[in-house]
Amino acid sequence: MERFYLTVARVAKKTLHHMVEHRIPMLPDIYSRHFYKFLSASDHDSQQLIEQQQQNSFDELITQQDQGFELMTELERLIGRLDQIAGQHIEQLDNHLLKIKVTDKFSDLSKLKDEITAELNQVITSNTKIHDHIVDAQETVKRLQDKMQEVADMATVDELTGLYNRRALFCRLSEELSRATRYGHGFSLLVIDIDDFKAVNDQFGHQTGDGILRGLGTFLRQNLRDSDFPARWGGEEFTCLLPSTDLEQAVQVGNKIRNLLSQSTLTNKKIAISLKITVSIGVSSFSAGDNIDGLIKRADDALYLAKRRGKNQIITEREI
């Protein structure tokens, strides 16, 4: 553990030096992102420690899935047993029917009536027990499904905004990169940062800041295509993956977001505050031989340039 702390201190110093040298704005989320990159690159053990909690979520999901498969097998067994029991009772009732046709004594008919009644009662009892087992199993399946969805959401959804989180973004970027490489379908990435967000937190408190973040999450879901992939990168920074979208089209999407936001008012009804916000946006687009890190870095660099040029604007990778 002491080695970990020493590594963190060393990487913190290295991160600050890098940001000062490259004139990168000293904003909390920007700092944390660069810190994480240096930490991951410098110490494998530390990287594993950071990623362990996320891995635990996936391990729990796999365990829940295994339990679900076991329960499905048990349901199949119960249904097979029901079919077997039903077949046995039908065969027995067929035998009774044959006896009815060939008997000529009233006493035999009375005895057969009692036997058939007993057989029907056994059918009802057997079916009731199996039905109860099936109902219990179905309820357990529903609980497992809900739990699996909850665990999956914990691993891929940002709790505050309801958007996808950074991990989900990397998974989707990997899929989109493979698709673009194989089929030539381009895509673009927006990196969006709320301007002067620290001032909002300082002046109105973190509750209001959280409301702004939730509001922006809702805004992005409502104003993007179903095929687009908005995510919260961290802090006040968001991303939007735009499939089948070139750089010029991505700029149009980014300007639409920026203009609509600048004309809108985000309201926190609990504390009766209405605020206008602006955003700065960096844009990159897939090119042959590209990779995820390069795509993100170009959009990041474009975002930093937008901040340095006065904020509330969109800059593309071509301008850096």
Which residues are annotated as catalytic?
236
Residue at 51 is within a domain:
no
Residue at 161 is within a domain:
no
Which residues 6+ apart lie within 8 Å of 126 measured at CB?
A: 85, 89
Q: How confident is the model at residue 38 (pLDDT cuts 50, 70, 90)?
A: low
Q: How many helices (H) and strands (E) does the chain have?
A: 9, 7
pLDDT higher than 90, residue 150: no
What's the alpha-carbon Rg for the chain, to the nearest Å? 31
Are 143 and 207 in the same domain? no
Residue at 87 is within a domain:
yes
Q: From CA 307, how far away is CA 160, in angstroms rounded?
A: 25
Above pLDDT 70, what percent of the chain?
Answer: 55
For 89-97, which contacts have Cβ atoms below 8 Å and span 24 or more sequence positions?
89/119, 89/122, 89/123, 89/126, 92/119, 93/119
Are 15 and 136 in the same domain? no
- Render pLDDT for 52-82 as a digit per residue (tens, 0 to 9): 544 555 555 556 556 656 656 665 666 666 6
Are 112 and 178 in the same domain? no
Average pLDDT over all residues of the chain: 78
The residue range of the domain holding 258 is 166-319
Report the SS3 class of residue 155.
Answer: helix
Most confident of 87-91, 130-134, 148-152, 311-315: 311-315
pLDDT higher than 70, residue 237: yes
pLDDT higher than 80, residue 148: no
pLDDT value at residue 36? 59
Q: From CA 233, how far away is CA 145, in angstroms rounded?
A: 28
Taking Cα atoms as reference points, which of 133, 136, 141, 123 lies closest to residue 87? 123
Are 11 and 65 in the same domain? no
Q: How confident is the model at residue 6 (pLDDT cuts 50, 70, 90)?
A: low
β-pairing verdict for 266-268 and 273-275: antiparallel
- Render pLDDT for 189-221 as a digit per residue (tens, 0 to 9): 999 999 999 999 899 888 888 989 999 999 999
Number of domains in the chain: 3
- Residue 106 · residue 29 · CB < 8 Å: no
Are 139 and 202 in the same domain? no
pLDDT higher than 70, residue 247: yes
pLDDT value at residue 162? 92
Are 225 and 305 in the same domain? yes
* CA dihedral of 74, 80, 82, 85, whole degrees rounded to 10: -130
Are 197 and 266 in the same domain? yes
Residue at 49 is within a domain:
no
